[in-house]
Amino acid sequence: MLEFIITWSLKHRLVVLVALLVASVFGTLAVRSLDIDAFPDTTPVQVQINTVAPALAAEQIERQVTFPVEQSISGLPALLGVRSVSKFGLSQVVVTFADSTDPT
């Protein structure tokens, strides 16, 4: 089979060269239309919710702000994880979604 291909290619050099030229043109066009980033975005899809309540202690922030925010977020689709920090006067909830999720 390989011998037949080689023999045919040697007899029909012009056809082989034209096929090579056509394949090269299509290959060049395909490479130019590729969407490749030099540095791909590998960060996870995250949403950060910061709430300020200057008069509340950390325990009150946790009970009155952080916990209700976590509860309301817990049912969202494609949710991977929820992390939170409660400090004096500040609640921060970080929500991580699956890669295919659009955060807008």
What are the extents of the domains in the chain? 2-32, 45-97
pLDDT of 40 over the 90 cut: no
DSSP code, position 38: S
**0.85 exceeded by pTM:** no
Gap between the Cα atoms of 86 and 53, Å rounded: 11
Question: If you search the block for the tokens 């929500």, which residue do you land on?
Answer: 95
Mean pLDDT value across residues 35-48: 82
Q: pLDDT, tens digit, for every residue of 62-100?
A: 999 999 999 999 888 889 999 999 999 999 999 999 988
pLDDT for 35 equals 80
Q: pLDDT, tens digit, for every residue of 9-19?
A: 999 999 999 99
